[in-house]
Amino acid sequence: MRGEAPGADARPGDRDGRADAGCASPRGAARFGGQRPFTGPVGGAPAPPAGPHRPPRMATEIAPTEPFLPSPQLAPREGDLFNLDAALTEEERAVRDSVRRFVDEEVLPIIGKHYVDGTFPRHLVPRMGELGFFGANLPEEYGCAGLNNVQYGLIMQELERGDSGIRSFASVQGALVMYPIYAFGSEEQKRHWLPRMASGEVIGCFGLTEPDYGSNPAGMITVAREQADGSFVIDGAKMWITNGSAAHAAIIWAKTVRHGETAVGDDKSIRGFIVPTDTPGFRARDQKGKLSLRASDTSELVLEGVHVPADAILPGSGGLKSPLMCLTQARYGISWGALGAAIACFEEATSYAKQRVMFDKPIGAFQIQQVRLADMLTEIVKGQLVSLHLGRCKDAGVFSPQMVSLAKRNNVNIATDIAREARRLLGGNGILAEYASMRHMANLESVYTYEGTHDVHSLILGQAITGLSAFK
């Protein structure tokens, strides 16, 4: 699980940088079927110059001739009553279908056992890297797939259709580890780390949340003290860290104390550090007793006198805004991922309702179950339209963190409701591990909480609506 953070990290209309702009490329798409990805609608003013608080934006833009409906010729396929496929390009559908095949063939047959056993299927990581799932919307020059943000979102949707733990792994690796290195790192750091992370050779984790500071990360007490030679010594602890015990490198966020000073700075002093997990003084302890996200590694990180060189710092990071920008990237993926869990539950409930016979007819013939299924499908379609529009805006560079909060808040909320209703439709069978709905229901309770709790996102939206902050 990852840290929750409150306030918005940019004003409406601000661009958080690189991963907003269309960045699709033919070579990256080859991993998903060999066609040129769609780069999204044009929009927005020219990107501002890169700086220490604003990562570079990709240059790829498309002409304003793309149709509003990329594939109007498509007839609705079975199960797609709203014909959402018509809103996707051929390339976007190819990416989705490729990931769906991977999940059907390599995740679903084994994930139930991993969930019951409380283990993450680590053997899938190299394959996921080979298929380009990690940092898929980052540029090819760093070994990534170079896809647009809608394609990236569809990857997250299909991975979470398998399990939230699988999507969480990819989310952390791409949005919370690779993105900050891309956005705030030096060119040397990017060249050293990103290709190896994209392939899955190096696993990363993101250390922001602390035992006493989740929704208020500005209060963190992890400190990095600068030494006379420019190196840093880091002391502190991080909690609820996905991939923590498996990671080879951690992105650690800490308040900094300059050499010769004693006072710890405020949240403006927060900087990011790349910390190899084999550094003396770094320990990861697995969180035991989880009833959710059981097929995911969740850890506490302890840093005691961890000495890192001067070049471990992410030079472009500065202030709380930097880690919040990373969370914005991850929250966007979650808005799609939660829909994948909802789709899995809806498909399972629909299949069961057609086959389960009670009172001499399939239970799907009863009005109460038809209403259940109709409500599920309606909420999934609405959620997909929200995330699709957000992805198009993100590709055009005209999205805001508040839009991401709305999408994450809504889609996770409706997914938790759908999972619960699917479990109920399944009756007693719904509590068995051979069915997916209760596993998704339990996982989504964590997704509801991490990356900004449902209530925190409500307050972000409330502030955007009223102009009044509820946080202070």
Please give the DSSP secondary-structure letter assigned to residue 431. Answer: G
Residue 437: half-sphere exposure toward Cβ, Cα within 13 Å: 24
Active site residues: 451
Q: Counting Cβ atoms within 10 Å, is residue 190 exposed (0-12), middle (13-18) or buried (19+)?
A: buried
Helix (H, G, I), strand (E, B) or coil at 270: strand
DSSP string, 48-90: PPPBTTBPPBP-----TT--SSS-TTPPPPTT-TT-GGGGS-H
What does the block give as tokens for 187?
């060119």
Q: For residue 395, give the amino acid letter.
A: D
Element (H, E) at 252: strand 249-257
DSSP string, 4-20: ---S-SS-TT----BTT
412/448 Cα distance (integer angstroms): 6
What does the block give as tokens for 466?
């009223």
Q: State the CB neighbour count (10 A cutoff) for residue 225.
A: 18
Give how far Cα 82 sits from Cα of 12, 77, 269, 315, 364, Å.
30, 9, 49, 47, 21
Q: Tell me the Ramachandran region of residue 241: left when phi exceeds 0, alpha when psi lies from -120 to 50, beta otherwise.
A: beta
What does the block give as tokens for 312?
């471990």
